[in-house]
Chain A
Amino acid sequence: MAERSFKKEVEKLRLGAGQEFHGEGILAVTKALLQSGVSYVAGYQGAPISHLMDVLTDATGILESLGVHFEHSASEATAAATLAASVNYPLRGAITFKSTVGTNVASDALANLASGGVTGGALIIVGEDYGEGSSIMQERSHAFAMKSQMWLLDPRPNLPSIVRTIEEGFALSEASNTPVMLELRIRACHVYGRFMAKDNVRPQFTLKDAMEKPVRDVTRIVLPPASFLHEQEKIQKRWPAAQEFIKARGLNEFVAGGARDFGILLQGGMYNTVIRALELLGLGDIFGNSRVPLYIMNVTYPLIDEEVKRFCIGKRAVLVIEEGQPDFIEQNLNTILRRADIQTRLHGKDLLPMAGEYTAPVIMKGILQFVRNYAPHLLEGHSLPGVLQPAAQKPVPVQKVEGEVHPRPPSFCTGCPERPIFTAMKLVERELGQHHVSCDIGCHLFSILPPFNLGATTMGYGLGWAGAAAFNTSESQKRTISIMGDGGFWHNGLTSGVGNAVFNKNDGVLVIIDNAYTAATGGQDILSSQADNRNRTTKLSIAEAVRGVGVKWVRTVTRTYDVARMRDLLKEALTTAEKGPKVIVAQSECTLNRQRRVKPLMKKLAEQGKRVVRERFGVDADMCTGDHSCIRLSGCPSLTIQPNPDPLRKDPVATVLDSCVGCGLCGEVAHAAVLCPSFYRADVVTNPSWWDRSKNSFARPVIAFLQHRLDKRLVENAA
């Protein structure tokens, strides 16, 4: 079950025609799918589209009533292959994943799909993880659309536009027999807004119809000679059909802004920021009125030659606002203009930066320079916004905070079961020296940041062990350590990592972190999840799967907080005389999910008068000397510092915040690392049992008597 529940929000999916929908972008996307009569949806979770998967998970009832099949795909490749259902049948299908990482994984299937083309509308919703808040390499999905000739939609980032684009996207896909990609940037996925809903549509042709009356068409399969035919079809049929459809339906938009002899072309996704930039420059207003003509490309691939020409003819110059690189659109525009011999100057990445997110100040600077060159009079009488005003130096307050503001990298949550694994690795490092550590994708990648600073490379999801494949030589006795999460393991790591290591007789060590969810993407279930899930098969063993592909040396730790055991196992794996791949499965439930499960339960038990023990750690400030070794071996958000209450000491002391969930790592570290005695664990017993109370009443008087004696000395001393 996912970290965030949409049980309440999914009710909005039932809204019908004439009712206004209010909610998050990603929920609106789901609603638009249902309004479009989609038959099946599949995908792989990952920011910024995780919520789309979670919403669909919580919407099972509604989906069933509409006859929609929904899958958590094993990987993005699986999701993409799922669209095969739309090749031969008039079935509308949608898939979703994080891009470009997910599109990378999916591209084999996508290329095959795009080659043969589709009958039913096929929509690929990609969460474009680019710019602020992104956690991946900065690339564009645009390239995938171009290389496989799928159409790329980049709607204005507001709910009515996004919803309309999805509905039109299916129709476009069908009209041109081409899969269509819909690109949503991070902020658009999370934007809260409103739109007028329509009724949900139950597909007329269903999955059942397809399964019971199967059809096949050998010309749709990528094999020669059909494959050569497909390429010709793309150019001769599908491309013109798409152009025609896009023009006819007016998917791109023009804003006249007075018949001026210059203008701006922009990706739909840039619209709100461009309008804000124009507003601040005195060239537009909040209602989208502009004094500069605009051509808004809600479809960024293919470009519509005719529309581009119409916009550019008679203009001295145009500016294209295209986020990301390479400058595919600008190159394309140049080709269109040159072929048509239109003399309009095209500006773009010469006035705007080639790389990086196009924030409002960036776009403003570009537009300002453009307008200064071609119509400076438009800028007269309007003072420049503060951010564009030249300043000799930074404002005093900004100078003052410099050095006082630290980065806050993401880290393991309070009580995270992955933390002790890396604590153990730190302890092993002290004894055996450094090892080459190959990382994967997942929460465990936070190990590369302080305080652990472990890990040399990460080559992709499930590729942790593959990333260490070359380090396989008998010339060294030293072994490598690879990390893989349970998510990456089932995504492809079982074959690309474990199978590969077995086959190639790798002598390295793999630690599989099994926290029972794909934790980094929001805690969705996978094959090895321990939860009961009505709609999925869970509780399968990673260790058995690993043995199944031929690993002999497999060890399982069922409580990762046992740092000493974790350390000893790692040491054994790194030093054993046994050759061949070694796998440690480190199991403990993701604490975010655990707390969500356990906390209400504990509260309920306590209210029913049952005995409940809450564990929490603490630090005795008068014993802490302020070295913070404990923090360097943990980094737990609940283990922090506070001013030293001792007037003699200057360095802050360690302290444990109330958010502590009593995971036990502090105590384990104090023991395993022989740190310091200032940690304590308090067991707070609610509704104590008869045994608790009698033990307590036996010890209490003696302790009280002795404490009284101690107090006497202390009081005298203080006097």
Chain B
Amino acid sequence: MDANVTTQPASVTSPDTKAISIAILAMGGEGGGVLADWLVDLAEHAGYFAQSTSVPGVAQRTGATIYYVELFPETESQRRGRQPVLGLMPVPGEVDVVIASELMEAGRAIQRGLVTPDRTVLIASEHRVYSISERSAMADGRVDSQKLLEASQAAARQFVHGDFARLADEHGSVISASLFGALAARGGLPFTREQFVDAIRRGGVGVESSLAAFEAGYAAASQPAPIKPPPVSSPAASNRTGRLANLITRVTSGFHAASHDVILAGVHRLVDFQDERYAREYLDWLAPIRDADAQHGPGAFLLLTETARYLALWMAYEDAVRVADLKIRRARFERVRREVKARPGQIVRINEFLHPGIEEITDILPAGLSRFLLRTKPLKRLLEKFTSKGRIVETTSLAGFLMLYTLASMRPLRRRSLRFERERRFIQQWLAQLPSLAAEDYALAVEAAECPRLIKGYGETHARGMQSYLAVMSAIPRLRGKPGAAEALRRLREAALKDESGRILEQTLQEVNA
């Protein structure tokens, strides 16, 4: 340290003598620190000055955080007889490598100006760790991954991407290891692959799994991959010769191809939910919509498709019978074992958290009986007492399974239930207005067809959704014939999904009605 020494008038070295600058954007607890440590260790063993720093603070509790590393060759420093002064924070436009542990974090690096096309290699994992606003939205609050990928491609000198989280998971390791592999392959750092590997070995924790994930990351990054368009989910191809052949033929010959995927999925859902007869009714109900669409629509059959989607979902409403039916299936047992990563020899007990309210019970009983129960005070009180507490049912136990099996067997009774009656009434009210709406204002009809998207969930959630749905639909008579009616209805629907209290919807309703 040259204390109080007045250094001689400086001959300043060329600005090309620069430190290597690496920024790691990660979320707290993701191992961004481990990655930085490996990098420092690697560089020091390779004869570099390495400086790293971070601003963890409370960010370590799941917040976004940056680790920043600068490297400088010791030989160069010896030649000049002075130690380098390394930076403590990335400067926009001056970063050689940005590593993002997740796709939105890559977006954040771009937003902060750290990724520039003249200089930066951007290494990012394509997987998503959803933000709290994405997760807590009442419908679909996800951001557009495609946009983030395209922006990354455009922003970086080189964009190295892959699902590094999955690669790490497959090798029983954490994402820092697979990203370190990608860095070794494509980061352009002046170190050999062996030097990277040695750094992991010296780290000494979980070496074998880290190395496996490192190799996987290295291999994935070595093969430049184009940005793929998002996969389009389509229902499994239907067998046209089986028991449902008639129904399937009815769909394929009677409806426009653009709607086939959705209608076929609807048919399968309803057979699964109830029976073939129910699916036939579904197609019967769709026929007038199809005709209206053919007559008034532009030929893309959007009205038909969306009506088919929400009609199927509505008809296959969630009642206790349906829940029991889905809970006891073998495929589900297997799926749970997979999800919890159970190994052979381990026993997996599956416990359900059921809280059937009095409505859930009267929903599935024959309508007459239900009305009687609800009218007869002592009986109702008894039922209320019985349903006041949630219960945990172990589906993998004999008693639990038999209980749910019995419940699921009540499927044939469903047609006579109170709930069935009620849903049918609402469905018909909704369907009935669509053809005439289509005739006046096709766009408005499409928006109206999408409104049942608001009805979801169970218990209170369902009641709230239904209330919102009715409130939004109630605006239609006043909107009819007005310019921008479709847009207004869409706004209402979106408002209903903005808060649970319904205040924003109420406000928007006033605005629309004004």
Name 28 interchain pairs, CB-CB below 8 A, sorted by A: A188-B53, A190-B56, A256-B6, A256-B10, A280-B15, A283-B12, A285-B12, A288-B85, A361-B91, A386-B116, A401-B110, A401-B111, A401-B151, A406-B133, A410-B58, A616-B340, A626-B456, A628-B137, A647-B235, A671-B353, A674-B355, A674-B390, A674-B458, A677-B323, A677-B352, A680-B353, A710-B408, A711-B330
Residues of A contacting B6 in the complex (Cβ-Cβ under 8 angstroms): 254-256
Q: How far is the CB of B171 from chain A (nearest CB, A)?
A: 14
Q: Is the CB of A648 within 8 A of B269?
A: yes
Report Cα–Cα, A584/B150, bound state, in Å: 52
A353 close to B (CB within 8 Å) = no
The closest CB in chain B to the CB of A8 belongs to B204
A253 close to B (CB within 8 Å) = yes
B357 close to A (CB within 8 Å) = yes
Q: Is the CB of A407 within 8 A of B239?
A: no
A389-403 near B? 1/0 per residue, CB < 8 Å: 000000111101111
A397 in contact with B262 given A187-B55, A250-B5, A707-B330 (CB within 8 Å): no
Q: Which of A188, A257, A413, A449 contacts B88 (CB 8 A)?
A: A188
B101-126 near A? 1/0 per residue, CB < 8 Å: 00010011011010110100000000
Report Cα–Cα, A651/B475, bound state, in Å: 24
A372-396 near B? 1/0 per residue, CB < 8 Å: 0000000000100111000000011
Q: Is the CB of A675 within 8 A of B55?
A: no
Number of chain B residues whose Cβ lies closer than 8 Å to a Cβ of chain A: 149
Q: Is the CB of A635 within 8 A of B132?
A: yes
Residues of A contacting B143 in the complex (Cβ-Cβ under 8 angstroms): 403-406
Report Cα–Cα, A60/B130, bound state, in Å: 42
* Residue among A134, A193, A676 with the highest chain B CB neighbour number at 10 A: A676
Q: How far is the CB of A530 from chain B (nearest CB, A)?
A: 21
Sort A-B residue pairs by CB-CB distance and give the 4 closest, nearest first.
A250-B4, A133-B55, A719-B242, A671-B390
B332 close to A (CB within 8 Å) = yes
Segment 39-62 of B: residues with Cβ below 8 Å from A: 40, 44, 50-62
Q: How far is the CB of B437 from chain A (nearest CB, A)?
A: 21
Q: Is the CB of A520 within 8 A of B58?
A: yes
The closest CB in chain A to the CB of B267 belongs to A717
Report Cα–Cα, A717/B91, bound state, in Å: 61
* Residue among B1, B86, B269 with the highest chain A CB neighbour number at 10 A: B1
* Residue among A276, A407, A685 with the highest chain B CB neighbour number at 10 A: A276
B429 close to A (CB within 8 Å) = no
Residues of A contacting B333 in the complex (Cβ-Cβ under 8 angstroms): 707
10 more CB-based (< 8 A) A-B contacts, given A187-B53, A631-B136: A133-B56, A190-B53, A256-B9, A282-B15, A288-B85, A396-B154, A450-B133, A520-B58, A629-B457, A675-B457
The closest CB in chain A to the CB of B19 belongs to A286
Q: Is the CB of A276 within 8 A of B87?
A: yes
* Residue among B4, B152, B456, B460 with the highest chain A CB neighbour number at 10 A: B4
Q: How far is the CB of A155 from chain B (nearest CB, A)?
A: 10
B228-244 near A? 1/0 per residue, CB < 8 Å: 00000111000100111
Q: Is the CB of B61 within 8 A of A411?
A: yes
Q: How far is the CB of B84 from chain A (nearest CB, A)?
A: 5
B4-37 near A? 1/0 per residue, CB < 8 Å: 1111111111110111000000011100000000
A517 close to B (CB within 8 Å) = no
A648 in contact with B57 given A397-B154, A450-B132, A682-B340 (CB within 8 Å): no
Q: Is the CB of A675 within 8 A of B458?
A: yes
Chain B positions near chain A (C-beta within 8 angstroms): 1-15, 17-19, 27-29, 40, 44, 50-65, 72, 77, 80, 82-89, 91-94, 104, 107-108, 110-111, 113, 115-116, 118, 129-140, 142-144, 147-148, 150-152, 154-155, 169, 233-235, 239, 242-244, 261-262, 265-266, 268-269, 271-272, 309, 312-313, 318, 323, 326-330, 332-333, 336, 339-342, 346-355, 357, 389-390, 392, 395-398, 401-402, 405, 408, 453, 456-461, 465, 500
Report Cα–Cα, A402/B63, bound state, in Å: 19
Segment 278-310 of A: residues with Cβ below 8 Å from B: 279-280, 282-291
Report Cα–Cα, A285/B17, bound state, in Å: 8
Report Cα–Cα, A221/B14, bound state, in Å: 59
Report Cα–Cα, A186/B65, bound state, in Å: 13
A579 close to B (CB within 8 Å) = no
Report Cα–Cα, A446/B63, bound state, in Å: 11
A to B contact number (C-beta, < 8 Å): 426
Residues of B contacting A650 in the complex (Cβ-Cβ under 8 angstroms): 139-140, 453
Segment 402-451 of A: residues with Cβ below 8 Å from B: 402-413, 443, 446, 449-451
A97-133 near B? 1/0 per residue, CB < 8 Å: 0000000000000000000000000000000010011
A572 close to B (CB within 8 Å) = no
Segment 631-684 of A: residues with Cβ below 8 Å from B: 631-632, 635, 637, 639-641, 643, 645, 647-652, 658, 666-667, 670-677, 679-684
A710 in contact with B328 given A191-B53, A271-B85, A413-B62 (CB within 8 Å): yes
A618 close to B (CB within 8 Å) = yes
A686 close to B (CB within 8 Å) = yes
Segment of A10-18, A462-470, A491-499, A692-700 engaged in the interface with chain B: A692-700
Report Cα–Cα, A340/B57, bound state, in Å: 44
Q: Is the CB of A398 within 8 A of B457?
A: no
Residues of A contacting B58 in the complex (Cβ-Cβ under 8 angstroms): 47, 135, 410, 520
Q: Which of B108, B339, B349, B397 contacts A685 (CB 8 A)?
A: B349
A640 in contact with B130 given A289-B13, A682-B349, A706-B405 (CB within 8 Å): yes
Residues of A contacting B142 in the complex (Cβ-Cβ under 8 angstroms): 641, 652
The closest CB in chain A to the CB of B239 belongs to A719
Q: Is the CB of B397 within 8 A of A699?
A: yes
Segment 341-395 of A: residues with Cβ below 8 Å from B: 359-361, 382, 385-387, 395
Report Cα–Cα, A451/B133, bound state, in Å: 8
* Residue among B17, B151, B342 with the highest chain A CB neighbour number at 10 A: B151
A680 in contact with B336 given A254-B4, A631-B136, A688-B347 (CB within 8 Å): yes
A620 close to B (CB within 8 Å) = yes
The closest CB in chain B to the CB of A411 belongs to B62
A703 close to B (CB within 8 Å) = yes
Residues of B contacting A555 in the complex (Cβ-Cβ under 8 angstroms): none
Q: Which of B13, B63, B132, B140 contacts A287 (CB 8 A)?
A: B13
A148 close to B (CB within 8 Å) = no
Residues of B contacting A250 in the complex (Cβ-Cβ under 8 angstroms): 3-5
Q: How far is the CB of A136 from chain B (nearest CB, A)?
A: 10
Q: Which of B61, B135, B390, B402 contacts A410 (CB 8 A)?
A: B61
Q: Is the CB of A628 within 8 A of B268?
A: no
Q: Is the CB of A677 within 8 A of B353?
A: yes
Report Cα–Cα, A628/B2, bound state, in Å: 61
Report Cα–Cα, A161/B86, bound state, in Å: 14
Report Cα–Cα, A361/B118, bound state, in Å: 18
* Residue among B29, B341, B351, B354 with the highest chain A CB neighbour number at 10 A: B351
Q: Which of A252, A681, A704 contacts B351 (CB 8 A)?
A: A681
Residues of B contacting A622 in the complex (Cβ-Cβ under 8 angstroms): 326
Residues of A contacting B265 in the complex (Cβ-Cβ under 8 angstroms): 647-648
Q: Which of B19, B29, B89, B131 contacts A187 (CB 8 A)?
A: B89
A592-612 near B? 1/0 per residue, CB < 8 Å: 000000000000000000000
A211 close to B (CB within 8 Å) = no
Q: Is the CB of B54 within 8 A of A670?
A: no
A192 close to B (CB within 8 Å) = yes
Residues of B contacting A188 in the complex (Cβ-Cβ under 8 angstroms): 53, 88
A48 close to B (CB within 8 Å) = yes
Q: Which of B85, B134, B330 contacts A275 (CB 8 A)?
A: B85
Q: How far is the CB of A519 from chain B (nearest CB, A)?
A: 9
Residues of B contacting A273 in the complex (Cβ-Cβ under 8 angstroms): 87-89
Report Cα–Cα, A523/B83, bound state, in Å: 38
Report Cα–Cα, A276/B86, bound state, in Å: 8
Report Cα–Cα, A258/B7, bound state, in Å: 9
Residues of A contacting B349 in the complex (Cβ-Cβ under 8 angstroms): 682-683, 685
Q: Is the CB of A410 within 8 A of B330?
A: no
Report Cα–Cα, A626/B265, bound state, in Å: 18
Segment 493-551 of A: residues with Cβ below 8 Å from B: 520
